[in-house]
Amino acid sequence: MTQFVISGSHRLAEVRYEIRGRLARRALELEKMGYEIIALNIGNPGLFGYRTPETMRLAMIENLGASEPYSHQKGIFPAREAVVMQQQSRGVLDVTAEEVFIGNGVSELIDLTLRALLNPGDEVLLPSPDYPLWTAATVLNDGCAVHYPCRPERDWIPDPDEIESLITDKTRALVLINPNNPTGAVYPRPVLEAIAAIAERHHLVLFSDEIYDQMTYEGAEFVPMATLVEDTLCATFSGLSKTYRACGYRVGWVVFSGNRENTGAYMEALELLAALRLCSNVPGQWAVQTALGGFQSVGELVGEGGRLFRSRQAVLDAVAASEFLELTAPMGAMYAFPRVKTDQLPDFDDYQFALDLLEHKHVLVAPGISFNVPYRDHFRITTLPERTVLKDAMDRIEELLHSYKVSEI
């Protein structure tokens, strides 16, 4: 038999997605061996007992008969109109259903919007740390990812001047993730206003990932980017996965606002790509109108005394008591991004730590290097589990870090 090798695409050499990578595969192997793994690597509410609101499930069930054909490539009208009404309630008045695309989660729409925009060598400004799909989608669509730093000493808030210094004649787009994944930062209005002005000044498409828009803590103000952008194209991404605890429905949307005067070719390209994949999951789309128009139960979860609030506090308390960890308090989303004090553990490596933690303590986390940062002293955990589970996981993390210190003495 002839021996041959089928190799993978060279484009994937620069793509990171350790959130579901080798560590996650090893965790599955350990579970098959009988070990119980505390999985803190993914923000997947359904795995931790959060339920999608019943009204959304009923909306899907009642419309199953209308869900068998393909829908329009942009999505069903009631879902798109609900997105428009939400935008209008926030002060974004210049949008109609024609400017809304429904996708199989925000993930698909990130890929489609970048693919419709980029030519080989075009640059996209991305936060570091970032949600790694943004960098991956840029690279896979022949773009060049240029990362602007969001530093812990600035509470993970980007510096607009630093962003502007990275712009070249090849820069096409600027990406924001607010509230941020993985850091939990919520960007202040003056910073967002400065970034909006930069995008307008340089005629950049502004992609604003706002999937965690209603998940904020202790009075942190979420400011929709579309309310600040007038003289360039703004694309706002959101969906049902996080705020509405419906990851498996695979329903997200992108809505375009701002200056659309010369965007016809781009919109035609995006609609072509949407048509090529026919349409997004139709049953899930019927939940959008109910979700956006109904009672916003996430407020009870993130408010003082709510489950997400208590779980977040359990992580903050554990870090405060730790000999080895420090953390900028996450003000939004469902994650924490702790740093290991390298003055205590100078040889610390985030990936090796994540592997050791999984093998010896049976806790799965995402190493910081997964999020396109140049340093190796952070890791991300989700704050979705009950606080007792998180306390147990944080105790195991502290035990492992202590063992590192003992071995170095």
Q: What is the pLDDT of residues 78-106, one digit of tens each?
A: 999 999 999 999 999 989 999 999 999 99
Q: How far is CA 114 from the centre of its chain?
A: 16
The pLDDT > 90 percentage for the chain reads 91
Other beta carbons less than 10 A from residue 215's beta carbon:
25
Q: How is residue 342 written in tokens?
A: 């390298």
Contact between 60 and 286 under an 8 Å Cβ cutoff? The reply is: yes
Whole-number pLDDT of residue 309: 97
Which conformational region is residue 364 in: left (phi greater than 0), alpha (psi within -120 to 50 degrees), or beta? beta
Whole-number pLDDT of residue 32: 95
Q: Give the residue among 241, 253, 235 at the shortest CA–CA distance from 214.
A: 241
- CA 362/CA 369 separation, integer angstroms: 20
- CA 80/CA 101 separation, integer angstroms: 7
- CA 312/CA 331 separation, integer angstroms: 10
- CA 221/CA 182 separation, integer angstroms: 18
pLDDT of 20-55, one tens digit each?
Answer: 788 999 999 999 999 999 999 999 999 999 999 999
For residue 347, which phi and psi values (nearest 5 degrees)?
-100, 15
Q: Answer whether residue 178 shows pLDDT above 80.
A: yes
Whole-number pLDDT of residue 294: 82
Confidence of residue 408 (pLDDT cuts 50, 70, 90): low
Fold adopted by 12-41+304-408: Aspartate Aminotransferase, domain 1 (3.90.1150)
**pTM for this structure?**
0.93
Residues listed for the chain? 409
For the chain, what are the domain ranges? Answer: 12-41+304-408, 55-293
What dotted CATH number matches 55-293?
Answer: 3.40.640.10
Contact between 288 and 82 under an 8 Å Cβ cutoff? The reply is: yes
| Sign, Cα dihedral of 167, 173, 179, 183 | negative
Q: What is the mean pLDDT of the chain?
A: 94
